[in-house]
Structure 1
């Protein structure tokens, strides 16, 4: 029998105050619209808050945080719901999907995105001016959560993490105050927000730099699963030589029919190499040729493309579904690591994970940014998995011998990852983050999601 959610009683006076102060909507568990308001992309978990504030302004967010502080409630936030950790029960949840305005200054090459904006909005607006953001593989992910967690995307090896390009953060802290956070104002908080995710407040808007990229030579190469050993080995060797203008990953896919590989039976193993090269088509063809020759192609979508089509590279799912997301950061991926991965997830394994992906790091992803932040940079690859509900972690433990000991914060989802945030930072960085946490959230109000400090909701 499913456990019934436990709701905290909210005094009528507090509800009336919120309703009077908030321009958006306020939902209690028995209200029409409450359940729909909680829907998120990743259905591996579901929040059961005592009260929900559907914010449409920054002042709505501030009012919600002030009331929660008075009631002693933890505060959570949901934009798109891609990175849900432990469900928020008995809390106050702020939903931000109504706050989705995006603006671009093409002269300054700066974008401003509100709390609920998604990457497709920024991509389309920036592309009109021949510019691009440091978005991720999915165009449906929220700008804010992705960026605060680091932001590892198709332009990463050339331009670094999305967090590296943030110039200004508009934030509501645990005291319900609006703060404009920059390198020169609340500098330690500015450092911590860029990499420490939602542990310090609720971001109402982000401002960040854009890069002059209008086109890519990009797409995917698909191979039969039986050729995974040869393709993975070719990609492994190839990543040792490619320029920083080329960012890539390789995935072992066992996808349901809804997301099947072209020309391949649904659910059967296939290999998908993802390519994003900022140079010209002729140079790109020469660079990619060794991979095209690594096996028998099922499909080849790598071609010159406008940057606005960048989501076609990874072909991430576009419909909500439940999945665990877990990862390791690898210091290297040598022949022994390849053998271990094939044993755990290759064609002769018992693996059922819909996706096991290696992303190539290095380049700007390994260098400190102009304005330091909390994002770790000590790995050569990330290894991440998407697993079915209830599936144990069978792929990552055999690769732990090649791990840096770190995880990547944005590639974590599901209740079993709720305590993993400290694993994403080295000892000195974690200590510094906790000092900032103590200064700006001394009562651990923002303890939901991937929290730096534990705390029951």
Structure 2
């Protein structure tokens, strides 16, 4: 029997055990539709706490599942200590070298806010509250990925605690295999306490959302296909079908452009030939304002998601996408990929050659609705030209690492796991062992 009470003496940070008040709240993941069991929850005060926790877990035969706030959780945490890293929150910008060093708990929005005064940017996704480390460990799709590739491509070094409880600095030179695995292979190999990554020039940024009534969706999708067929790498455009409770269905275009407003307007000119929109928030903005474009929720809630990569978006695919209402889904999103995503990448994912990513989301208000949401997601996926693989950070709890990686990459990841963590102390959201 594990004496989990001794955890309180092993670490300086806070420890919650199952009988403690508030335990059920702190063990919950971001997605409240996922049940996440845990033997204990530890909020580390620093890297020394992480090392002490690893030594404790090894001695007691426990696993560790690491989460800043629980994005991407799958519930595969039975018998583990849930490690919260939100207090590992340092941010250091080296503007001259165009580099940043961030703690494992730093959300994307904080890095963007720190980089913005220097005319620099990280590679942020749509949500400013997801951790930089979590995104990088999963590969990472970004607003600026068409210009700069995977978030993981830009990682220069990791500070980690390994399975023996040692604090180590990992680079391509010090440990090529572990460095490769950490840049997109998930959280199965070591606990990242900080990472160093490249920043990119962003002296000018234009972006925003244009919103129409859903009846204009065919014309909006035609304009979207026209824009993305010739888009330069600095332009990223997403297409959204939206149906929120209590509101009429809508269709939106979300865009960012690494450049000035005049050039962006020229590139997005097909949108100006469409009927007058309900709203248009496009403007010059700071990189720290990107999270406002899609205005994703900033508080936990239940959800069911499914993602796919599309091999194309021809007339047949466009017709299938718009064939019927998206209900009971709340959103159907197409993200334009290509550009630097499709170029060589020494990461577990490798190049992302599919031109579009599809993301389907609904809320499982009750079991019947959950079944309807899953059925709608399945029907849309079966009607569209999907490639059969998907990014690790887009997997849902019912999927595995085999849905993200090629057999060769997955085999290499498993060998690295066995070498660096033979006792399976570290439990990533999507274990490479299955």
Q: Which TM-score tier does this pair reach, normalised by the shorter chain?
A: over 0.9
Rounded to whole Å, the distance in 2 between the matches of 1:106 and 1:386 is 38
Say if 2:338 is the partner of 1:362: yes
> How far apart are residue 191 of structure 1 and its match?
0.7
| Equivalent residue for 1:107, pick from 91, 96, 113 | 96
Rounded to whole Å, the distance in 2 between the matches of 1:445 and 1:59 is 17
Question: Which whole-Å deviations, capped at 9, do the CAs of 1:342-368 have from their partners, x for residues lacking one?
Answer: 23xxxx336311111110001111112
Query: Structure 2 length normalisation: TM-score?
Result: 0.93
Pairing of 1:45-124 with structure 2 (within 5 A): 45-124=34-113
Contact kept in structure 1, 2:77 and 2:427, CA below 8 Å: no
Partner of 2:139 in structure 1? 150
> How far apart are residue 444 of structure 1 and its match?
2.6
> How far apart are residue 393 of structure 1 and its match?
4.3
Say if 2:392 is the partner of 1:409: yes
> How far apart are residue 397 of structure 1 and its match?
4.5
SS of structure 2 residue aligned to 1:449: coil
Rounded to whole Å, the distance in 2 between the matches of 1:30 and 1:274 is 46
Say if 2:427 is the partner of 1:447: yes
Contact kept in structure 2, 1:328 and 1:396, CA below 8 Å: no
| Equivalent residue for 2:349, pick from 347, 372, 375 | 375
Partner of 1:395 in structure 2? 377
Say if 2:204 is the partner of 1:215: yes
SS of structure 1 residue aligned to 2:152: helix
Partner of 2:191 in structure 1? 202
| Equivalent residue for 2:253, pick from 269, 273, 279 | 273
Contact kept in structure 1, 2:242 and 2:252, CA below 8 Å: yes
Rounded to whole Å, the distance in 2 between the matches of 1:106 and 1:276 is 23
Question: Which whole-Å deviations, capped at 9, do the CAs of 1:22-57 have from their partners, x for residues lacking one?
Answer: 110121111134233224432122422111211011
Contact kept in structure 1, 2:27 and 2:82, CA below 8 Å: no
Partner of 2:320 in structure 1? 340
SS of structure 1 residue aligned to 2:143: coil
Instruction: Judge which range, 390-399 or 377-386, deviates more.
Output: 390-399
| Equivalent residue for 2:216, pick from 195, 211, 227 | 227
Pairing of 1:117-132 with structure 2 (within 5 A): 117-132=106-121
Contact kept in structure 2, 1:276 and 1:313, CA below 8 Å: no
Contact kept in structure 2, 1:242 and 1:287, CA below 8 Å: yes
Say if 2:21 is the partner of 1:10: no
> How far apart are residue 87 of structure 1 and its match?
4.8
Partner of 1:290 in structure 2? 270
Rounded to whole Å, the distance in 2 between the matches of 1:183 and 1:397 is 43
Change in 2 beyond 3 A, CA 1:149/1:307: same
Contact kept in structure 1, 2:329 and 2:361, CA below 8 Å: yes
Question: Which whole-Å deviations, capped at 9, do the CAs of 1:120-162 have from their partners, x for residues lacking one?
Answer: 1111111121111111111111111111111111111111111
Unaligned 5+ segments in structure 1 are 1-8, 257-265
Say if 2:130 is the partner of 1:141: yes
Unaligned 5+ segments in structure 2 are 365-369
SS of structure 2 residue aligned to 1:220: strand
SS of structure 2 residue aligned to 1:204: strand
Say if 2:325 is the partner of 1:325: no
Contact kept in structure 2, 1:69 and 1:445, CA below 8 Å: yes
Question: Which whole-Å deviations, capped at 9, do the CAs of 1:199-242 have from their partners, x for residues lacking one?
Answer: 11211011101011133110011111121122112212321111
Instruction: Judge which range, 31-40 or 296-305, deviates more.
Output: 31-40
Contact kept in structure 1, 2:304 and 2:374, CA below 8 Å: no
Change in 2 beyond 3 A, CA 1:70/1:193: same
> How far apart are residue 70 of structure 1 and its match?
2.1
Say if 2:246 is the partner of 1:246: no
Instruction: Judge which range, 424-433 or 33-42, deviates more.
Output: 33-42
SS of structure 1 residue aligned to 2:201: coil
Question: Which whole-Å deviations, capped at 9, do the CAs of 1:136-195 have from their partners, x for residues lacking one?
Answer: 111111111111111111111111111111000111222222221101011111111111
Contact kept in structure 2, 1:131 and 1:213, CA below 8 Å: yes
